Structure 1
Amino acid sequence: MYSLSPKSFIISIILSAMLGSTFTLFIQQFQARPIPTHQTISILKQNPPSIVNAVETSKRAVVGISVMRKNQSDGNPLTETGGGSGIYFDSSKGYIVTNSHVIEGADDVEVVLYDGSKVRAKVIGSDFFYDLAVLQVDPIIFYQKGIAPAILGDSTKLKQGETAIVIGNPLGEDFAQTVTAGIISSTNRKYPMKDEYGNTFWERVVLQTDAPINPGNSGGALINKKGEVIGVNNAKIAEQHVEGMGFAIPISQAKPILAQLIENGSVIRPALGIEAYTLQDLMETSRPNVPVQEGAVILHVSKETTQSGLKEGDCIVKLADRDVKNIVDLRTILFSHLPNEIVTVEFFRGNKKMTLQVKLIPLNLDKK
């Protein structure tokens, strides 16, 4: 499904960022085995669950992210412009997860380790809709410093009221490895994203916590008392009179996205090959004459989909036998399918209700 360019989207909830660093670390290369995950597991077995033991288990795997961009007015030298946090999670390849908004527009990225040392990172891929990105650093560097990867837990088993611990670099290097704690306030909170017109185009399902999340925590770890990563810190509501409302991407949702980013560098999603808007959001003069008050109106059909039979002005009310009340429903249902699947589309063309079988096309929404 075609949509407005991700660069034009304005997220209503204020995202966290900012971290400092400018130097790179020269690393002598040599062959060595990466640290096995079972070393971290052994730490958990030796110590009963507690915030202290959880932090001790995971803190070294949480890194700082420093973003540099070229300054056109100064002959293109790299200048630090922001950053956040990240989580080292793969010992064989040196993969690190962070937020896509942390590295957006970066010309160079550095990772800051727990001891303050810095090393250049390669961007493997990023995904706008889930706000996730994967970086890569030579795993030998982690081995040299005795840093074990974080253990990725299972966020589907979380319950409201469980302990939630945040580790990250709020406000930059000066406050690296900061720990805050609270509880899981909600395991299934809808996180709206809006376009430049104020219309919601996507809702991300996130964990809500009252553990303080501050600028620079973006991409850092939300862990449980076992030291397992249960979420990737993502955002907070930063409005007057609002306290203790932070959000994290559930790790169980993140895992398949990370797998695609590692394999493909991006997430290939299914699309109808249309540009559509919520019927209710359109001005009365722009609405098609249809006998419904809710749905998704097609404003443009791509060349790949013209043969499907869908046309401009059609108002989609069902997709794959599920109700479509707005563009968020349409995307949510689409993203639950795979490219090249054939789905049933139910829509109104004027007063006439119609049904078509449409083959979903692959679409890379993050391709620049």
Structure 2
Amino acid sequence: MKDRKRLFKYFLAYVFTIFSAVFAVIIYLKYFPVESKVITEKKTVNETKLSETAIEDAIDKAYDSVVTVESYKNNQNIGSGSGFVYKTDGNKGYILTNHHVIDSADKIEVILSDNETVEVKLLGSDEYTDIAVLSIDKSKVKKVATLGDNDNINLGSTVIAIGSPMGSDYSGSITRGIISGKDRMIETDSIIAKVIQTDAAINPGNSGGPLVNLAGEVIGITSMKLATEEIEGMGFAIPINDVKNYVTYLEKGEEIKRPSIGISVINTSDRYSLYMNNISVNTSETGVVIAKVESGCSAEKAGLKKGDIITKFDDNKVTSISTLRYYLYQYKTGDTIKVTYIRDGKENTLDMKLIEKD
């Protein structure tokens, strides 16, 4: 009997202790709440509204700066794309777009966000970077976009593309996506470009339009879309910091000066062209073969000859004509670079001073 009483007392003490502990925790949490981050699959209503508001604000900051670009030749429409006003100065506004949007045009018009059509002037364009600058009467400018800094973008960040997919009928269209890749290197038409990759829907008419971050700043110019049956949702934009490096020249109508080494080259994989140029090399080597050396050029002065295989510029591997051009254009006229090349099966190096391309 005594053992039962003793066990009963222990049980009561145990229950009292548990109750007291729970009560103490409740009181503590009530007066001293603990901050914690809870990750859930569903966002709260307030979080969703905040996200939507940020997107709407970003669109509002850039939307009226965007125009539809229509290109004409002999009064025939030869293409359309998008563009945006990025600057005003004096009595002019300045519009950025793609070179391929206005290439070969003898007349260019833009359609503003209020559907007014205005003729504009081409100030300058560059095929290699695929950018062009147009001027418009300042009185016609609705809004000026803010240029951002693409060095600060993060993978997964929300971005917005504004433009005219499929022409003016769909002008002012907006698509949303994320940053899928930074500093992507893609090759097209023997040109390698460093681009921002996004899954925001970008179609041909979007070319030249802005890619905008949630601050409403332009971080890139949409330029091309990789569209195959195997790959979808891969849009690309020219980083705005790269554009800033050249836009001042184009505003003045100046040609962008790039270095030249004065050679014609063939990819080592192009056996037919090598045969037609009477060049015999080890095609297992990766690089570009010199087919012709111009008299008095940088290559001749440095000692390069027909049949040499260029494999490196400094520490950068040259694997094709595209990579040779890309790395060459990273230098300036007057720079001296170390060239690695193969001649008669042996690897050699030499220093070459770059001159301006004619």
Query: Structure 1-normalised TM-score?
Result: 0.76
Counterparts of 1:236-315 in structure 2 under 5 Å? 236-240=225-229, 242-283=231-272, 285=275, 288-289=280-281, 293-305=285-297, 306-315=300-309
Q: Please name the residue that 2:155 is paired with.
A: 160
Q: Secondary structure at the match of 2:147?
A: coil
CA deviations on 1:21-44 (whole Å, 9 max, x unpaired) are: xxxxxxxxxxxxxxxxxxxxxxxx
Q: Distance in 2 between matches of 1:63 and 1:243?
A: 26
Kept after mapping to 2: 8 A contact 1:290/1:348: no
Q: Which has the higher contact order (CA 8 A, sep 6+)?
A: 1
Q: Does 1:219 align with 2:208?
A: yes
Distance 1:192 1:113, change over 3 A: same
Q: Secondary structure at the match of 1:328?
A: helix
Q: Does 1:341 align with 2:338?
A: no
Q: Secondary structure at the match of 2:57?
A: helix
Kept after mapping to 1: 8 A contact 2:187/2:322: no
Distance 1:239 1:323, change over 3 A: closer
Q: Does 1:186 align with 2:178?
A: no
Deviation, 1:55, is 0.6
Q: Secondary structure at the match of 1:234?
A: strand
CA deviations on 1:37-80 (whole Å, 9 max, x unpaired) are: xxxxxxxxxx997111111111010011011111xxxxxxx122
Kept after mapping to 2: 8 A contact 1:290/1:349: no
Q: Please name the residue that 1:232 is paired with.
A: 221
Q: Distance in 2 between matches of 1:246 and 1:322?
A: 27
Q: Secondary structure at the match of 1:219?
A: coil
Kept after mapping to 2: 8 A contact 1:291/1:351: no
Deviation, 1:352, is 4.3
Higher helix fraction (1 or 2): 2
Deviation, 1:291, is 9.3
1:52 to 35, 52, 56: 56
One-letter identity of the residue aligned with 1:213: I
Q: Distance in 2 between matches of 1:54 and 1:88?
A: 16
Deviation, 1:290, is 5.1
Q: Distance in 1 between matches of 2:152 and 2:241?
A: 10
Query: Structure 2-normalised TM-score?
Result: 0.78
Q: Distance in 2 between matches of 1:279 and 1:241?
A: 29
Distance 1:322 1:183, change over 3 A: closer
CA deviations on 1:215-242 (whole Å, 9 max, x unpaired) are: 3111011101111001101111232354
Kept after mapping to 2: 8 A contact 1:49/1:226: no
Q: Distance in 2 between matches of 1:217 and 1:57?
A: 18
Q: 259-268 vs 213-222, which deviates more? A: 259-268
Distance 1:243 1:148, change over 3 A: same
1:360 to 312, 336, 354: 354
Q: Aligned pair count?
A: 301
Kept after mapping to 2: 8 A contact 1:84/1:102: yes
Distance 1:208 1:353, change over 3 A: closer
Deviation, 1:207, is 1.1
Distance 1:291 1:54, change over 3 A: closer
Q: Please name the residue that 2:135 is paired with.
A: 136
| The structure with more radius of gyration | 2
Q: Distance in 1 between matches of 2:126 and 2:221?
A: 14
Q: Distance in 2 between matches of 1:243 and 1:308?
A: 46
Kept after mapping to 2: 8 A contact 1:66/1:83: yes
**RMSD over equivalenced CA pairs, Å:** 2.2
One-letter identity of the residue aligned with 2:113: Y
Q: Secondary structure at the match of 1:267?
A: coil
Q: Distance in 2 between matches of 1:340 and 1:351?
A: 30
Work out the percentage of aligned pairs sharing the same amino acid. 38
Q: Please name the residue that 1:106 is paired with.
A: 105
Q: Distance in 2 between matches of 1:351 and 1:173?
A: 57
Deviation, 1:341, is 1.8
Structure 1 gaps, min length 5 = 1-46, 71-77, 195-200
Kept after mapping to 2: 8 A contact 1:125/1:266: yes
Q: Please name the residue that 2:321 is paired with.
A: 327
CA deviations on 1:148-207 (whole Å, 9 max, x unpaired) are: 31001111111111101011112222221111111111112222113xxxxxx3221111
Q: Distance in 1 between matches of 2:82 and 2:257?
A: 26
Distance 1:80 1:271, change over 3 A: same
1:317 to 296, 307, 311: 311
Deviation, 1:304, is 3.7
Distance 1:271 1:241, change over 3 A: same
